Amino acid sequence: MREAPIGVFDSGVGGLSVLAEIQRLLPNESLLYVSDGGHIPYGEKTPAFIRQRCSVMAEFFQQQGAKALVLACNTATVAGVADLRRDYPDWPIVGMEPAVKPAAAATRSGVVGVLATTGTLQSAKFAALLDRFATDVRVITQPCPGLVELIESGDLHSAALSTLLQGYVEPLLAAGADTIILGCTHYPFLKPLLKRMLPEHISLIDTGAAVARQLQRLLAERELLAEGVARDTQFWTSAQPEQFRNILPILWNTSGVVRSFDL
């Protein structure tokens, strides 16, 4: 079981930002990645629809013999992680949510901005996060429709993308935010552009590395950390495999076999 793979999924390519952190921290682990690109964006879908996609993914990874599951998607986590944990109580499942706690600890201006999908920002889970960790800071939230679609097309710095992003960060800066949470796994790919766009004192916080550490803890507790050599990462997509193959070298350090996932 130690050498079994870990299943990682997202609505699209965003989860590759988390996959990279997992690979960096746990280089012996064999990884399986599914992009549900045929149903993207999750950010504008109903929680019921996303929960149903989460169970399809979980079922698929169970069939592949995955020893753990990572929801490399904030929107899928807020909608679906509770049901998955109920349905698979013995399976290590790691979800992710916007990094409100570290951002509240880091801000010096007392104002934190959150860029995330509409679904994440409207969820009860996000409201609970704010109640718990953001009592002493002001939090400005900003949904970002359209960003995910551009990133999925491989666009990380066009003029159109810059204009859209500028419009999303401006209200945060105007409110005095000095710490911005990247609350969607697609957004870390925009860090180079954001760094050029933002004043130097603004910090960007995302959760990929923390998710990798949580996965490591869960596997260690169960004596499930791999000890052998990792097999090549395998990719599936519910969109056109060609599209994923084209974007993979832009967002991922190696190429890989991409298969069609049509469930």
* Binding stretches for ligand DGL (CB under 6 A): 10-12, 14, 40-43, 73-75, 117, 120, 148, 184-186
**Which class for 116: exposed (0-12), middle (13-18), buried (19 or more C-beta within 10 A)?**
buried
CA distances (Å), 1 to each of 7, 67, 135, in order? 14, 7, 43
Residue 185 assigned as binding residue? yes
Closest approach of ligand DGL to the CB of residue 133, in Å = 19
Nearer to ligand DGL, 205 or 226 (CB): 205
Is 262 labelled a binding residue?
Answer: no
Catalytic residue among 31, 40, 71, 73: 73
Of the listed 184, 190, 226, 247, which one is catalytic? 184
179 is in an annotated binding site: no
Minimum distance, C-beta of residue 1 to ligand DGL, in the bound complex (Å):
29
Residue sitting closest to ligand DGL (CB)? 43
Residues 6+ apart with CB under 8 A from 108: 178
Closest CA to 152 of 45, 31, 11: 11
Q: In this structure, are residues 33 and 16 in contact, taking their beta carbons and an 8 Å threshold?
A: yes
Q: Which is nearer to ligand DGL, 37 or 241 (CB)?
A: 37
43 labelled ligand-binding:
yes
Nearest residue to 206 via CA among 131, 79, 106, 84 = 106
Distance CA 183, CA 178 (A): 16
Residue 113 counted as an annotated binding residue: no
Please say which residue, 67 or 186, places its beta carbon nearer to ligand DGL: 186
Question: Which of 121, 108, 115 shows the shortest CA–CA distance to 142?
Answer: 115
- φ and ψ at residue 193, rounded to 5 degrees: -65, -45
Decide if 54 is catalytic: no
Backbone dihedral angles phi then psi of residue 242, each to the nearest 5 degrees: -60, -45
For the bound state, the minimum distance from the C-beta of residue 150 to ligand DGL, rounded and expressed in Å, comes to: 12
Smallest distance from the beta carbon of 5 to ligand DGL, in angstroms?
21
- Both structure tokens of 189: 């790919």
**Rounded distance, CA 84 to CA 87, Å?**
5
Residue 42 is assigned to a ligand binding site: yes
- Between the alpha carbon of residue 42 and those of residues 54, 69, 222, the distances in Å are 11, 18, 32
Q: Write down the least CB distance from residue 12 to ligand DGL, Å.
A: 6
Q: Which residues are catalytic?
A: 73, 184
Residue ranges of the binding site for substrate: 10-11, 42-43, 74-75, 185-186
